[in-house]
Amino acid sequence: MTEFVLRTTELTKIYKHDVALDKVTLRVKKGTIYGFIGQNGAGKSTLIRIVNGLAFPSSGSIELFGETADRELVAARKRIGSIIESPALFPHMTARENLEVHRIQRGIPGKECIEKTLELVGLQEAGKKKAKNFSLGMKQRLGMAIALLGDPEFLILDEPTNGLDPMGVMEIREFLKRLHRENGITILISTHILSELHLLATHYGIIHKGKLLEQLTAGELNEKCQQYLHIKVNDASHAAAVLDQELHASDFEVMPDGTIKLYQFVHDSGKVSTALFRAGLIIEQFMPMGEDLESYFASRIGDERYVQSR
Ligand SMILES: Nc1ncnc2c1ncn2[C@@H]1O[C@H](COP(=O)(O)OP(=O)(O)OP(=O)(O)O)[C@@H](O)[C@H]1O
């Protein structure tokens, strides 16, 4: 069985005036949550549309569940559930009725899947309420329910938290985590807001102006965004001795300019300042530093506005 749910090779899409995708080679491993990050117009929706068979590439290829031939791709797409832009809902129908229409349209046998899916997204109590009267969060959950009908192995969500308030964003995040944990589903989620993916994605792909700039795991990203205490004192070697002997710190660096980067005690910095002070050192600078995910993303795509305010 193939290790990858989705692979694209040098995928390119050229519109009349725009190169929407420029030789994108992307890998989504089975069982991962892939955060697909890029600003508006970066090319995320174009890639998702091609994967779903809603647009055709100008060149390059895609592989879904190990299949590359056109005929096999049609069958492979049945194993995908997607929400692209706003979910297609019938406003005058209840959640249950909406699901029933989609079930019939997609030829999914057996009505049992409707209750199961409503329960999965927490809409079993929505009762007679019509979709037009749903909150945005409920609409998004109903959209997810539609995507989840037929037990897809791969869920693709294009900006699923668009317009949601922080509570709604958190709700969706918790729901997706549970779905991933309990059902082992592979998820690709596109967004231009990196913080929404924090604590959710296991892998990241950064796309900018149609080019895939980087793919990395959550662990690699965290390492790049490592937090540390920036310390400047009147005597760096004395301070290093204090860190070593008093605090038994093992992870710090004395920089050529005499400042110290201490990668431990970031959330317990009082201990450090007290030890330095007691040793008679004069503390000139003392602050937590490091990139957060948002500024790392900004620095990768060269967005000066974010980089300078870091
Ligand atoms: N049907 C189309 N015809 C012409 N140009 C298009 C078409 N669809 C997308 N584009 C262009 O391709 C580029 C990538 O657009 P795309 O919608 O894929 O970006 P995105 O990352 O999904 O952004 P957003 O978050 O705004 O949807 C943009 O420059 C866009 O204007």
Are residues 17 and 50 part of one domain? yes
Could you list the residue range(s) of the whole structural domain that residue 276 is in? 226-289
- Ligand 1 centroid–CA 20 distance in Å is 6
Are residues 230 and 195 part of one domain? no
Q: Which atom of ligand 1 is nearest to the CA of 192?
A: 25
Are residues 158 and 77 part of one domain? yes
Assigned domain for 302 exists? no
Task: Using most ligand atoms within 8 A of CB, pick from 12, 15, 212 the residue to mutate for ligand 1.
Answer: 15
**pLDDT value for 308:** 37
**Which of 184, 216, 248 marks a domain boundary?**
216
Q: What is the mean pLDDT of the chain?
A: 88
**pLDDT value for 295:** 73
Assigned domain for 236 exists? yes
**Cα 310 to the center of its chain, rounded Å:** 21
**Which of 194, 216, 238 marks a domain boundary?**
216
Are residues 167 and 98 part of one domain? yes
**Which of 152, 182, 216 marks a domain boundary?**
216
Q: Which atom of ligand 1 is nearest to the CA of 46?
A: 18
Q: Work out the percent of the chain whose per-residue pLDDT is above 90.
A: 56
Are residues 15 and 122 part of one domain? yes
**Would the ipTM clear 0.90, i.e. be above it?**
yes
**Pocket of ligand 1 from Cβ distances under 6 Å:** 15, 18, 20, 38, 40-46, 159, 192
Are residues 179 and 64 part of one domain? yes
Task: Using most ligand atoms within 8 A of CB, pick from 11, 13, 18 the residue to mutate for ligand 1.
Answer: 18
Assigned domain for 83 exists? yes
Task: Centre a 10 Å sphere on the Cβ of residue 48 and count the other Cβ atoms it contains.
Answer: 22
Assigned domain for 285 exists? yes
Assigned domain for 296 exists? no
- The CATH number of the domain holding residue 263 is 3.30.70.100
Assigned domain for 74 exists? yes
Assigned domain for 307 exists? no
Residue nearest to atom 6 of ligand 1 (CA): 15
pLDDT digits (tens, 9 = 90+) for 248-285: 999 999 999 999 999 899 888 999 999 999 999 999 99
Q: What is the mean pLDDT of residues 52-57?
A: 93
pLDDT digits (tens, 9 = 90+) for 68-99: 998 999 999 999 999 887 777 899 999 999 99
Are residues 277 and 200 part of one domain? no
Are residues 52 and 135 part of one domain? yes
- Ligand 1 centroid–CA 287 distance in Å is 41
Residue nearest to atom 1 of ligand 1 (CA): 15
Are residues 110 and 256 part of one domain? no
Are residues 108 and 34 part of one domain? yes
Are residues 245 and 166 part of one domain? no
Count the domains in the chain. Answer: 2
Residue nearest to atom 17 of ligand 1 (CA): 45
Assigned domain for 305 exists? no
Are residues 151 and 279 part of one domain? no
Give the predicted TM-score (pTM) of the model. 0.79
pLDDT digits (tens, 9 = 90+) for 120-153: 888 888 778 899 998 888 888 898 899 999 889 9
**pLDDT value for 169:** 79
- The CATH number of the domain holding residue 113 is 3.40.50.300
Q: pLDDT-based confidence at 26, cuts 50/70/90?
A: very high
